[in-house]
């Protein structure tokens, strides 16, 4: 819990301290962050590194990818891999409606024991700028994996700290897991 509060405070401080420049929601970026995870199954928690990106393939479509490596309690490691695509369209001058469909793979490993859990995920919500250089988004997320189905909510905020660099984070609260990630991303 103390780590969660520290990461949340760091994200808030970066948001308040950052300079702003005009920008639209980014569908072309690569990011690196650190995160905290809490799994309801066996009450495990841990921290990890997250690499993600989005790449436009048309005026309203993009590819997405994400890799995360988590170090959990009791010597358990977990790797997450996500690959998919998304669509976006304007619902106002500053906000887009977004929808994403992706393949999700989660692999847990403890010693010689491994468990592979895969399936698909859906995310739907909004993404937009609330002021020059400040992007907010949020919505619902659904996973249908081998072991379970999961429904949750997510929110994200990103602040420009340069022409191409943003800092911020994402919080996802679900039935089976909670994730908090803070980091930076490079827009292109």
Write out pLDDT tens, residues 110-154: 888 899 999 999 999 999 999 999 999 999 999 999 988 999 999
Within 13 Å of residue 178, how many CA atoms lie on the same side as its CB?
8
CA distance 178 to 41: 11
Q: Other CB atoms closer than 10 Å to residue 5's CB: what's the count? A: 9
Among residues 143, 63, 51, 54, which one has the least CA distance to residue 106?
143
- Please compute the mean of the pLDDT values over residues 151-163 and round it to a whole number: 96
39-79 pLDDT tens trace:
987 788 999 999 999 999 999 999 999 999 999 998 899 99
Mean of the per-residue pLDDT values of the chain: 89
The superfamily in CATH containing domain 2-187 is OMPT-like (2.40.128.90)
Q: Other CB atoms closer than 10 Å to residue 24's CB: what's the count? A: 12
Give pLDDT, residue 78: 95
Give pLDDT, residue 18: 41
CA distance 158 to 135: 5
Give pLDDT, residue 43: 84
Domain boundaries, the chain: 2-187
74-102 pLDDT tens trace:
889 999 999 999 999 999 999 999 999 99
Residue 4 has pLDDT above 90, yes or no: no
Give pLDDT, residue 6: 47
β-pair type (177-187, 165-174): antiparallel
For the entire predicted model, the pTM comes to 0.84
Give pLDDT, residue 63: 99
At 33, which helix (H) or strand (E)?
strand 29-39
Give pLDDT, residue 3: 54
């Amino acid at each position: 819990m103390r780590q969660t509060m520290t990461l949340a405070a760091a994200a808030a401080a970066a948001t308040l301290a950052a300079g702003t420049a005009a920008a639209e929601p980014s569908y072309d970026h690569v990011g690196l962050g650190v995160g905290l995870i809490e799994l309801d199954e066996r009450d495990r928690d841990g921290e990890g590194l997250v690499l993600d990106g989005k790449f436009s393939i048309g005026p309203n479509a993009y590819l997405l990818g994400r890799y995360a490596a988590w170090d959990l309690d009791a010597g358990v490691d977990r790797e997450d891999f996500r690959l998919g695509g998304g669509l976006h369209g304007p619902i106002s001058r500053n906000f887009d409606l977004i929808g994403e469909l992706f393949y999700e793979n989660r692999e847990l490993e403890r010693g010689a024991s491994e468990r592979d859990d895969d399936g698909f995920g859906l995310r739907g919500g909004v993404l937009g700028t609330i002021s020059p250089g400040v992007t907010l988004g949020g919505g619902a997320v659904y996973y249908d994996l081998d072991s379970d189905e999961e429904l949750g909510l997510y929110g994200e905020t990103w602040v420009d700290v340069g022409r191409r660099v943003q800092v911020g984070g994402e919080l996802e609260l679900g039935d089976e897991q909670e994730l908090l990630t803070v980091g930076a991303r490079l827009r292109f």
